[in-house]
Amino acid sequence: MKLNIVPSRTGIAWLKLGMRTFFKQPLALAGLFFMFMAVMTVASQVPYVGFVLAMALLPAATLGLMAATREAADGRFPMPMVLLAAFRAGKQQARAMLLLGGLYAFGFLAAMGGAYLVDGGDFARVYLGGTTPTREMMMASDFQGAMWVFIGLHLPLSLMFWHAPALVHWHGVPPLKSLFFSMVACLRNFGAFIIFGLMWLALLIMVVIAITTLGTLLGNPELAGDILFPALMLMASMFFTSLYFTFRDCFDLPAPVVEVKAVA
């Protein structure tokens, strides 16, 4: 395993590669993303432990989408079973991925708990979809303080888990070491990741403006609402497709194993 340092402009290449690969297999990759969302939604509905279960499955599910992207980038059609790649690589890797999921769930709950201590849970309820925010609530100093506490705690968590599932799966790195290497890779390539994030944010804003403007010009604001949600879901699918390339360029991927049969 080798850590690569890439120039900042690579962030633009990651976005382009993600979109280009998505359009190679749009039905497959979009379908797998919606399956990913469905699994997370169903898991979150389990009584008492649903949210924790969904968070624990997130690293493995993200790895499944990265494996699907690798299939599409190599010219193959990704099948639904690729989403289970994290659990089909042997018992040892499956246990490692489950441990990684448990660590992520614990870290997320800790970040949410930090926010809860600031405003008594208002931000947590809004973030988790249990409460519709009001303008007065969002302008309250406690709510904004809780939001920044959550961001401050969740950002390092995201950096630690950005590459961790792929490192565990493709390089066999132990879970705790994978968190360290992932954080180092993100920090060493900070410029590329900043450009990557800003480009996706700019694209998101442009899509939202374009759709809402179209609805206004047609005199049908409801049309914009009907189009906006599926458009954002497709963009999210493209974003997850691009994650594979951030890993591929930061770490050398092992070559696929090719079986050679002896000729009698």
Residue pLDDT, tens place only, 77-104: 999 999 999 998 888 989 999 999 999 9
Of the candidates 55, 20, 51, the one whose C-alpha atom is nearest the C-alpha of residue 244 is 20
Residue 76 has pLDDT above 80, yes or no: yes
Span 102-107, mean pLDDT? 96
The residue-averaged pLDDT of 142-146 equals 91
96 close to 173: Cβ distance less than 8 angstroms: no
Residues 6+ apart with CB under 8 A from 200: 15, 239, 242
Output the six-digit token pair for 224.
């914009």
Kindly report the pTM of this predicted structure. Answer: 0.88
Q: What is the pLDDT of residue 257?
A: 44
Over residues 206-212, mean pLDDT: 90
Buried b (16+ CB within 10 A) or exposed e, 226-261: ebeeebeebbbbbbbbbbbbbbbbbbeeeeeeeeee
Q: Give CA angle at 51 (176, 96), nearest 5°.
A: 25
* Rounded Cα gap, residues 92 and 87, in angstroms: 9
Task: Tell me what pLDDT residue 255 has.
Answer: 59
Mean pLDDT score, 11-31: 95
pLDDT value at 72 more than 80: yes
Query: Considering the chain, what percentage of its residues have pLDDT values greater than 70?
Result: 95
Q: Given this model, what pLDDT does residue 236 score?
A: 93
How many C-beta atoms surround the C-beta of residue 262 within 10 A?
4
Which pLDDT score, from 0 to 100, does residue 101 have? 95
84 closest CA partner among 17, 195, 13, 169: 169
Do 77 and 71 contact (CB within 8 A), yes or no?
A: yes
Of the listed ranges 134-143, 196-205, 251-260, the one predicted with least confidence: 251-260
CB-CB contact of 22 with 237 (8 Å): yes
Query: In whole angstroms, what is the distance from residue 253 CA to residue 8 CA?
Result: 21
Share of the chain above pLDDT 90, in %: 69
Q: What confidence score (pLDDT) does residue 135 get?
A: 78
Q: What is the pLDDT of residue 264?
A: 38
pLDDT digits (tens, 9 = 90+) for 232-254: 999 999 999 999 999 999 998 76
221 pLDDT above the threshold of 80: no
- Residues 249 and 71 sit within 8 Å (Cβ to Cβ): no
Residue 175 pLDDT exceeds 60: yes
Instruction: Kindly report the average pLDDT of the chain as a whole number.
Output: 89
Residue 134 pLDDT > 90, yes or no?
no
Which residues are CB-contacts of 123 (< 8 A; sequence separation ≥ 6)?
115, 116, 143, 146, 147, 150
**What is the phi/psi pair of residue 173, to 5°?**
-75, 135
Residue 189: partners with Cβ closer than 8 Å, 6 or more residues away: 5, 6, 10, 250
